Structure 1
Amino acid sequence: MKKKFSHASRYILLTVLLLIYIFPFFLVFINSFKSKRDVIKNPLVIIGSEGFQPGNYILAMKRMNFGNVFINSLVITIVSVVLIVLFSSMTAYLFARCKWKINKILFSLMILSMVIPFQVLMIPIVSVYGSVLHALNSRITLICLHVGFGVSMGTFMFNGAIVSSIPAELEEAAKIDGASKLKTYSSIILPLLKPTVVTLVIIDSLAIWNDYLLPSLVLVKKELYTIPIAAQSFHGDFSSDYGLMMAGMVLSIIPILLLYFVLQKHIIEGVVAGAVKG
């Protein structure tokens, strides 16, 4: 009886925490179908006094130029995440297997770079890439910056996974069979890092897709805007159209939710595998 009560109390607590967590998302969703007046006056009511407003999504897509900004965000996110995974996994493999002193120094510097706040680098980035290199207003520049900021954490995660879960004997066996370092990495190391790859893809995709500050510094032309920057069009100097803003937020959330649903199986497998190894 005591055990059943303990399980029931845990489920109740987790359910309450879940409701608290998803409540802001629920508010965003219901307010995306309301007029500006209803959002301000009755934000907690499911349907406002002016009725259901599905046209908010159509108008929001037009105001944001959603097709263009969606493609921009998609290209920047996919290319950045793929490069981060490749570069960081290769770097981590080198650091984990080659015990050179320079590797220890470089790995320590990469870990230390994760502590530096981005706000400290804002002015130097604009000065160097704008005044010196004249490289602003470019997707390539933004992708390179995302990769530069993301490789350190990726290397840290992959290094830990390689050292703790991939025995060196596998690579020795591949070497005996005549496999090169690149073949060993692509055929043995990277497939075994699948749980870490999926975790890093989720983390970096979420961060890059929702990033506002860095793209706002690099991209000035409207045709290069990403979704978070385009969502600013609903903010005015004296008022904001909250209904359209909420609709734009829902549109920006959907791709990340789809990505999570596609990869959640692999995330759960990675967590379970880590628990079994522990």
Structure 2
Amino acid sequence: MTDRQPFAIPKAIILYAALAMFLFPFLLVVMNSFKRTQDFVQNPLALPSSLTFANYSYAFDSMGFLRAFGNSMLITVISVLLILLFASMTGYLFVRFKWKLNGILFFIMLASMALPFQVLMIPLVMVYGQFDLLNSKTTLLFLYAGFGIPFGVFTFHGFIKGIPYELEESAFIEGSSRLRTFFQIILPLLKPVMMTLIVLDVLWIWNDYLLPSLVLLSPEHRTLPLSTYAFFSSYSVDYGPLMAGLVMTIIPVLAMYLMLQNHIIKGITQGALK
């Protein structure tokens, strides 16, 4: 222990410096959310002269916050549930059934993770546009499930390999079907890794701007990131309300992370041990 003590202070300094570096953009957005746009343009690093919530009330109305919040919540919750359900069942299938086709499909899923979305976005918009499938939440849900399931399968695959098959054999002897065994025995054991995937997928889908901007064309379908269109005009940007809108968009995800942080850490550590 005595050999490590001289390095404690430099480590603490480095960690606090890294923390300040990561928190600075967030604090800058919060600070500027209380400023007028003119004050922001003059000096974005200056402290606000007074704490006024006028920007928040204006952003709430301009964004159609409640409608956009409902759209974001609906799309995020359903997409995450679809990813968790199908990814866990597919990962289980790949682990327990040693078919050659399963090996090929698993390799294809892993390969799809290396393909950037920017390569696919133009062909996807052209194809879905030809069949008049754009401007639909259902289409967006289908796309999120398609892009999110491969990583989910990869994660569940490694975790399920660490679950003893004897647990399932005992259930089969008692007369349980494979489907019932999966939902009553295997799925509860996947809770730690499911919590980790929930956080990762919620952060991805809730904050995503590019894919909804390609699919959701009507204002009534816009999610919270898309609702920031309200502060952009042809020649200027209303920065004060924009910052307030960004803060309101961040708060739900931040609250979810604070509630689930113990499960997140547990899921990461157990996943590493598996």
TM range, normalised to the smaller chain? over 0.9
CA distance in 1 between partners of 2:43 and 2:122 (Å): 41
In the TM superposition, what is the alpha-carbon distance from 1:2 to its structure 2 partner?
4.6
Question: 1:81 is matched with which residue?
Answer: 80
SS at match of 1:238: coil
Contact 1:32-1:245 at 8 Å conserved across structures: yes
1:207 aligns with 2:208: no
2:28 maps to amino acid: L
CA distance in 1 between partners of 2:100 and 2:269 (Å): 35
1:270 maps to amino acid: G
SS at match of 2:52: coil
SS at match of 1:230: helix
Question: 2:149 is matched with which residue?
Answer: 151
The count of residues paired between Structure 1 and Structure 2 equals: 273
Question: 1:21 is matched with which residue?
Answer: 22
1:102 aligns with 2:73: no
What's the TM-score once normalised by structure 2's chain length?
0.96
SS at match of 1:265: helix
CA distance in 1 between partners of 2:159 and 2:192 (Å): 9
CA distance in 2 between partners of 1:267 and 1:222 (Å): 35
CA distance in 1 between partners of 2:152 and 2:262 (Å): 21
Contact 2:193-2:268 at 8 Å conserved across structures: no
In the TM superposition, what is the alpha-carbon distance from 1:149 to its structure 2 partner?
0.7
1:46 maps to amino acid: L
CA distance in 1 between partners of 2:42 and 2:236 (Å): 14
CA distance in 1 between partners of 2:249 and 2:57 (Å): 14
Deviates more, 1:254-263 or 1:9-18: 9-18
Contact 2:69-2:223 at 8 Å conserved across structures: yes
What's the TM-score once normalised by structure 1's chain length?
0.94
Contact 1:35-1:53 at 8 Å conserved across structures: no
Question: 1:258 is matched with which residue?
Answer: 255
1:60 aligns with 2:59: yes
Q: Deviations over 1:62-82 (max 9, x none)?
A: 110001010000000000000
| CA shift in 2, pair 1:271/1:153, >3 Å | closer
SS at match of 2:4: helix
Q: Deviations over 1:178-224 (max 9, x none)?
A: 11111111111111111110111111111111111111111111100
Q: Post-superposition, which runs of at least 4 consecutive aligned residues in structure 1 deviate over 6 A?
A: none
Q: 1:179 aligns with which of 176, 180, 197?
A: 176
Q: 1:229 aligns with which of 215, 226, 231?
A: 226
Give percent identity, aligned residues only: 50
SS at match of 1:34: coil
In the TM superposition, what is the alpha-carbon distance from 1:274 to its structure 2 partner?
4.3
Alignment gaps of 5+ in structure 1: none
1:224 maps to amino acid: H
CA distance in 2 between partners of 1:180 and 1:14 (Å): 51
In the TM superposition, what is the alpha-carbon distance from 1:111 to its structure 2 partner?
0.8
1:10 aligns with 2:11: yes
SS at match of 1:30: helix
2:71 maps to amino acid: N
Contact 2:32-2:44 at 8 Å conserved across structures: yes
Question: 1:113 is matched with which residue?
Answer: 112
2:4 maps to amino acid: K
Q: Deviations over 1:110-149 (max 9, x none)?
A: 1111111111211221122111x21111111111110011
CA distance in 1 between partners of 2:149 and 2:269 (Å): 26
Q: Deviations over 1:147-191 (max 9, x none)?
A: 01111110011001111x211111111111211111111111111
Question: 2:36 is matched with which residue?
Answer: 35
CA distance in 2 between partners of 1:269 and 1:207 (Å): 21
